[in-house]
Amino acid sequence: MSQKIGIYGGTFNPVHDGHVSLCRQCMEALSLDRMIVIPANVPPHKQAKELASSEDRMAMLSLAFKDQKNVIVSDIEQKRQGKSYTVETLREIHAQFPQAELFLLVGSDMLASFDKWYCFEEILTLATLVAGAREAGEYTALCSSRESLLRYAKRILILPVKEIPVSSTEVRRNLKETGTAAYVPPAVLSYIKEHHLYE
């Protein structure tokens, strides 16, 4: 029986409880054998104005997921340097685990614009796309985005997930304004303060 491997990439600037919860829910719902969490080196679609260094984001992810069984934090995109393209990462993981079934976890906001991603058709041949729907209305919207992509892919999954009401933008703003933030793993918050990030 082939292994089922989830791939969860993102800026994680910083990682928060919402990321950890989504990862855990997807692992359970899809019965994944492992999840590879990958901080982007230079995200192609985001401005890097408030971006913590890749080393700091890697360290924070390692702290956030240290107690999560079968979750691996990988520096695959940092080693590659330059802009982080998902297709290149998937090619590498596929070469490493040729027999594995890959599941690519994407944010609900990403699914609507997925057909603008670099080599998106190839991505859909390498992995099953998985998006988490946080509420009934979002589930309907995601299903409609899914329909338009199905001509390129065999399987795109929409999973109902419980949302933790937090975003990395909000965390950075709260840290700047108050020096603290809710919904951040305690070890990550300590690291942020110790290294004077997002001040």
CATH number, residue 55: 3.40.50.620
Query: 114 is in which domain, residue-wise?
Result: 4-165
**Residue 25 carries which side chain, given as an amino acid letter?**
Q
175 within some domain: no
Q: What are the residues whose beta carbons fall under 8 Å from the beta carbon of 193, sequence distance 6 or more?
A: 179
Per the CB < 8 A criterion, the answer to whether 37 and 24 are in contact is no
> Total domain count for the chain?
1
With respect to residue 96, please indicate whether it lies within any of the assigned structural domains. yes
More confident residue, 136 or 147: 147
Residue 165 confidence (pLDDT) above 70: yes
Count the neighbouring beta carbons within 10 Å of the beta carbon of residue 198: 19
The DSSP element (H or E) to which 138 belongs, if any, is helix 136-149
Q: What is the pLDDT of residues 48-64, one digit of tens each?
A: 568 899 899 999 999 99
Supply the mean pLDDT for the chain: 90
Domain membership flag for residue 199: no
Residue 141: what pLDDT? 82
For residue 145, is it within any domain? yes
Range of lowest pLDDT (73-82, 91-100, 141-150): 141-150
Distance of alpha carbon 159 from alpha carbon 162, whole angstroms? 10
Q: Is residue 189 part of a domain?
A: no
72 found inside a domain: yes
